[in-house]
Structure 1
Amino acid sequence: MEARLVGLSGASGLVFDRTNFYAASGGQPGDSGFVERGDGTKTRIVDTVFSPGKQQVVMIAEPDAELPSPCETLTLHVDWQRRYRLMRMHTACHLLSVVCPFPITGAAVGEAESRIDFDWPEAEADKAAISAQLMDLVTANHPVFVRDITEAELDANPGLVKSANVKPPRGVGTVRLVCIGEASSVDAQPCGGTHVSETGEVGEIHIGKIEKKGKANRRLRIRFGALPR
């Protein structure tokens, strides 16, 4: 994607008039990659974040990089391999919230491992059983898609919100739902992250660890690959 640099933010932040880089939000890390000037010079981007108030997306250049000048037009290159792993992992987190339908108290998406904390006081969780249920959803290859609903529709369906602590942003009139399955038959929940287009793209996953983090908190860690024997 080509974009015009409209300003700098702090010591190494770049702000463009548009961007294909995802800014860290909702437990998903921001994109990395590089930007390329007209002469072929490349500047590595190590993170992408929102400015205070989420008014701008700020792409953070590596330390001591020679920054381009405002008004320059550059080509933005996302590290697609890393983004795609995060998309697969984020989708896997949605599937885990289906298998374990308990209020979510925390979450973090990673390239090799993700975690979800559940308010699950009497958990007798079995890694093998949960992993098998996750893989059933993966191999069924359900479609994953996005649709918008109004804030009034969300108010009428509070069960769509799975997080116990964080509510979807409001004020624009609509809320973005990530849906899984034909006609949202598997899941639908507000989310602003990135996801694959069908569950089969997630690939083989398993629950690597289940931790007790308090009287009513269980942390489940999702990892790529088969469950070790």
Structure 2
Amino acid sequence: MTVLLFRDDAYRREAPARITGHTAEGGIVLDQSLFYPTGGGQPGDSGTLEWGGGRMVIATAARGEGRAVVLVPAEPAALPPPGTQVLQRLDWDRRYRHMRAHTALHLLSVVIPLPVTGGQIGEGKGRLDFDMPQPPHDVAALEERLNDLVARDLAVSGDWISDDELAANPGLVKTMSVAPPVGQGRVRLVRIGQGSGQVDLQPCGGTHVARTGEIGRITIGRIENKGRQNRRVTVLLAQ
């Protein structure tokens, strides 16, 4: 099991680690990982590993067996052996764009309060699919509401509840296509706003900005018909 450092501090850019193993496909497993592994619509992080006399570019990270995070080298190469102490460095600009886009999508689920059937996070953009028979009639109003939530600079924080507590509160789950990250005894909730100013609370294992003001200006892009009752809404973030 890999310790998930990104859960404790999404803003940490480098950290030491020890290699605990390799996969048959040439991946690297660490005892603790800054790299977010692909999942929940969010891409895996990229960056580098450095050790005495060596450096390796990491293209992405994936989920492995036994709750391990597997780092995928950008090119085939001889891997440092298990036990090697390494320094992991994130491609921070890319990670931060994912964080901004991910939090923006949570806000999109606030202004469009319909079941979410899918989603994808990109660098400075993202999209959600909604169970929406008809397209929204006033896109400009939705965009204005999104940017009002950004301008309010709401705090984004994390809480934990047990798997049983989540099962007893199914209304917390907005996404129909991605199961909440259960099975470890507890589930992380991402909260936007505090107290009477709270606007969103839902299970999520991804990385987020600390305040909505960090997202910047949001533009609603294409709204596509993806089925009889499915609409895909894309958001674009200012650079």
TM-score when scaled to structure 1? Answer: 0.92
Counterparts of 1:41-120 in structure 2 under 5 Å? 41-52=54-65, 54-120=66-132
Quote how far apart the aligned CAs of 1:132 are.
1.0
1:169-228 per-position Cα deviation (integer Å, ceiling 9, x unaligned): 3333322100000137110000000000010011111111111111100100011129xx
Q: Give the Cα separation in 2 of the matches to 1:175 and 1:86.
A: 21
Residue in 2 aligned with 1:186? 199
Q: Give the Cα separation in 1 of the matches to 2:181 and 2:50.
A: 33
Q: Mind listing any 5+ residue stretches in structure 2 that lack a counterpart?
A: 1-14
Instruction: Give the root-mean-square deviation of aligned CA atoms.
Output: 1.6
Residue 197 in structure 1 maps to residue 188 in structure 2: no
Q: Give the Cα separation in 1 of the matches to 2:181 and 2:93.
A: 29
Name the stretch that deviates more: 187-196 or 6-15: 6-15
Residue in 1 aligned with 2:3? none
Q: Give the Cα separation in 2 of the matches to 1:136 and 1:106.
A: 25
Quote how far apart the aligned CAs of 1:127 are.
2.9
Residue 164 in structure 1 maps to residue 172 in structure 2: no
Residue in 1 aligned with 2:10? none
Residue in 2 aligned with 1:36? 50
Asked if structure 2 preserves the Cα contact closer than 8 Å seen for 1:27 and 1:107, the reply is: yes
Q: Give the Cα separation in 2 of the matches to 1:170 and 1:70.
A: 29
Q: Give the Cα separation in 2 of the matches to 1:57 and 1:171.
A: 16
Helix, strand or coil for the counterpart of 1:218?
strand
Q: Give the Cα separation in 1 of the matches to 2:204 and 2:128.
A: 15
Residue 15 in structure 1 maps to residue 29 in structure 2: yes
1:206 partner amino acid: T
Q: How many residue pairs align between the two structures?
A: 224
TM-score when scaled to structure 2? Answer: 0.89
Counterparts of 1:202-213 in structure 2 under 5 Å? 202-213=215-226
Q: Give the Cα separation in 2 of the matches to 1:165 and 1:72.
A: 39
Asked if structure 2 preserves the Cα contact closer than 8 Å seen for 1:51 and 1:57, the reply is: yes
Helix, strand or coil for the counterpart of 1:46?
strand
Asked if structure 2 preserves the Cα contact closer than 8 Å seen for 1:127 and 1:208, the reply is: no
Q: Give the Cα separation in 1 of the matches to 2:185 and 2:59.
A: 33
Residue in 2 aligned with 1:222? 235
Q: Give the Cα separation in 1 of the matches to 2:17 and 2:137.
A: 48
1:45 partner amino acid: I
Name the stretch that deviates more: 65-74 or 191-200: 65-74
Helix, strand or coil for the counterpart of 1:44?
strand
Asked if structure 1 preserves the Cα contact closer than 8 Å seen for 2:135 and 2:223, the reply is: no
Helix, strand or coil for the counterpart of 1:170?
coil
Asked if structure 2 preserves the Cα contact closer than 8 Å seen for 1:150 and 1:175, the reply is: yes
Asked if structure 2 preserves the Cα contact closer than 8 Å seen for 1:127 and 1:210, the reply is: no
Quote how far apart the aligned CAs of 1:152 are.
3.2
Q: Give the Cα separation in 2 of the matches to 1:62 and 1:164.
A: 33
Q: Give the Cα separation in 2 of the matches to 1:58 and 1:38.
A: 21
1:126 partner amino acid: D
Residue 130 in structure 1 maps to residue 142 in structure 2: yes
Quote how far apart the aligned CAs of 1:61 are.
0.5
What fraction of aligned residue pairs are identical, expressed as a percent? Answer: 47
